[in-house]
Structure 1
Amino acid sequence: MNRRAILASLGSLSVGGCLRLADGASTTQDGTRSEEPDVDTGTTTGRPDPAVEVSTVDPPAKLGIGTTEQVTVRVENRTEGVFDGEILLLFDREVQTAESVTVAGESTVQQTITFELEALTERTVEVEVRAAGFRKVVFRRTVAPATYAVRLEWGAAEQNSAESWTSIKSFRCYEIRVETEWETLAVYDVGNPETEPRFLTDTGFATEDTHGTFRWFGGGDTGTSIAFEGVDVADAARLVLVGTPASELDELPVEGYVGEIQTDATTWTNELQAHTLSLSLED
């Protein structure tokens, strides 16, 4: 099966590190672009309704990958009657959720929509308010598939406890490489905020020893999800992690996933070296 065809069909950890919108967008420091929606900005007739005002409150400038996102909608009803409507969440114009919203006369309500992106292809996310004779999109972001999320599941962990804390560690990682069969696509120094990839799940604090900077990954059922921004994982053959399993582990079972598709299951020995995990989606 074609690798990109498989990626297009995935429905798990999302890719949302890069935002690409229409003209008029502003550019943030990390290169993403965002703007207020420019479609359906009034009633279904195209004329604004001064009696009802809908907007977002501190909308997210960018959407995370594999994380819970929230958009808060503010509905101000300036009439004496009751406003009855719905707040819809849409992915590529397909309704995902619909929540009722009721606002008494001369009142204001704020309501929060919570969601997670679940695609590795380009996706447009919209939040829309609808009622009889009223329709307005209050939030829109188009997420480009510039990155893919890779998840590592650890099969063992070292656990140390004290009176006020518990430390659960699986793998001490100094460096990550994304490689094809012929070349290296990207190299990341883990523990250096300037050069490491984007971690979507909790990791240990960045620290340093005689071998360089590193972070601890994993622990029991806690996987490690990583976004490689600007790197097309569809072209990759393997992921290389330079480091060592926790000292109490003789060996470390590890599984690799792109989305929900498992790409490898192997066991790493307890040695400080380059440990490899396949990213191949080929049958």
Structure 2
Amino acid sequence: MTTEPPRDTPAPAGLLILAGTPIGDVADAPPRLAAELANADVVAAEDTRRLRRLTQALGVHTTGRVVSYFEGNESARTPELVEALTGGARVLLVTDAGMPSVSDPGYRLVAAAVERDIRVTAVPGPSAVLTALALSGLPVDRFCFEGFLPRKAGERLSRLRENENERRTLVYFEAPHRLDDTLAAMAEVFGADRRAAVCRELTKTYEEVRRGGLGELAAWAAEGVRGEITVVVEGAPAPGPGDLAPADLVRLVRLREEAGERRKEAIAAVAVAAGVPKREVFDAVVAAKNEAGAAPGPA
């Protein structure tokens, strides 16, 4: 009787779990969160001290290894977590508040896990984006999330100008000490009368939702605002026929080209959005190109 040598068997696939955490009131923690915290082999936390406070509030004892996973070490720690996942570990990722990878660490780890065919799932939880949208009083059927704007004034204005003609409701995060400058910039680009809502300290004791025009909100914020901030801004009104100047048409075509569209398709799309003939957009683009070519160079 011969015995075959044992064959190497692959390790069971691991599981990456993205867990939403409360954005304010700990009572909003999803029921599954406590069980996942208790059963994970590895808990990767944006702030281990905040994790400790959360587990104490939930009455949970973590038995797995706890590691930090934040912006400063995300790139270096991702391979370590992927190695644990390929070895069959159950890895739970939590951030300070809300859903991992939404303006928080997590994207790199998810991308790396997906690349290696590791299963990724989530424990849905509270979201500042959706909560602010629901409370804003602005249209919520279509929206886009822009995260944090650049800190430098010039870069912030440039980003806002990209959103100037966005028809969907816009959602931004902002630090309280930059809120007045951001709202003032929004009023400059979008117009002082564009409706908006500043949502502060959502689900916390001092929750506040301030609604009004951007100019009015900028004046209010100039007095100083504290807490976690989410800003919701009404989308741009649909342009009527002939409402946009040739320079605006050219700028919209350029933005679409920069996003990867061919000029022909960009011109057609802008014409439809602006409610004007394609020839009008084409002529504006050609005129702008000729004008740029005719501009005198440096002496």
TM-score by length of 2: 0.29
Instruction: Work out which of the two has the higher radius of gyration on C-alpha atoms and give 1 or 2.
Output: 2
Larger RCO of the pair (alpha carbons < 8 Å, separation 6+): 1
TM-score by length of 1: 0.31
